[in-house]
Amino acid sequence: MKSFTQHTGIVAPMDRENVDTDAIIPKQFLKSIRKTGFGENLFDEWRYLDAGYPGQDPNSRRPNPDFVLNQPRYQGASVLLARKNFGCGSSREHAPWALDQYGFRAIIAPSYADIFFNNSFKNGLLPIVLSETQVDQLFNDALAFVGYQLTIDLERQVIVKPQGDAIAFEVEAFRKYCLINGLDDIGLTLRHADKIRAFESQRLAQRPWLARTLQT
């Protein structure tokens, strides 16, 4: 998992409440057993005017010019600004995969669906919770200034605006530790690889029959 310490990026404002996971990555793209390639279908039904299906050439699609991510001023955006209850709906882990693979490193919103919120941390995506008043102000700023950028400093737990003003945010200590060190659940386990190998060696020495294979 990619570590997250500090990130500066263009902000894309998505002015919609209750954006569900089927909107983030529609159900037809969940057939893939790979963990890669979902970024090109992020917000597929809003982002394109034609129907999307797995395996399409993205260059053959008809982009929706009115959708925020297709507007030139938001090209290369890596910070998503959203409204309340972002990531509601089904619990598909493909939603944070798609956001991450598109290029987003962080989301800022007043609230999130619990499962999406947890899945984001486990996949290297930082979901930041701010008050609705603070989010409203960021929407105003992002719409007012082309190329509007924010710097997110996870170690200090602040969002720094272009003029230098800082907005503090909360993040649970263990989740912060995992993001800063790039540790997902597997990475956390592998920190103890030496102890695991030692335990397995001792177990086989005490119970050698466990190493036997069945003969057919």
pLDDT tens, position by position, 66-112? 999 999 999 999 999 999 999 999 888 999 999 999 999 999 999 99
Instruction: Kindly indicate the confidence band of residue 197, based on its pLDDT and cuts at 50, 70 and 90.
Output: confident
Which structure tokens are listed for 71? Answer: 């507007």
How many Å apart are CA 43 and CA 21, to the nearest integer?
A: 9
Return the number of other C-beta atoms located less than 10 Å from residue 168's C-beta: 10
Domains in the chain, ordered, with CATH?
Answer: 6-182 (3.20.19.10)
Q: Which residues pair with 6 in a beta bridge?
A: 153
The 3 state secondary structure assigned to 83-141 is: CCCECECCCCCHHHHHHHHHCCCEEEECCECHHHHHHHHHCCCEEEECCHHHHHHHHHH
Mean pLDDT of 190-211: 72
- Taking only the tens place, the pLDDT of each residue in 14-72 is 999 999 999 999 999 998 767 889 999 999 999 999 999 988 898 999 999 999 999 99
Mean pLDDT of 167-175: 97
134 CB-near residues (< 8 Å, 6+ apart): 167
How many Å apart are CA 114 and CA 93, to the nearest integer?
A: 12
Residue 119, pLDDT > 80, answer: yes
Instruction: Kindly indicate the confidence band of residue 117, based on its pLDDT and cuts at 50, 70 and 90.
Output: very high
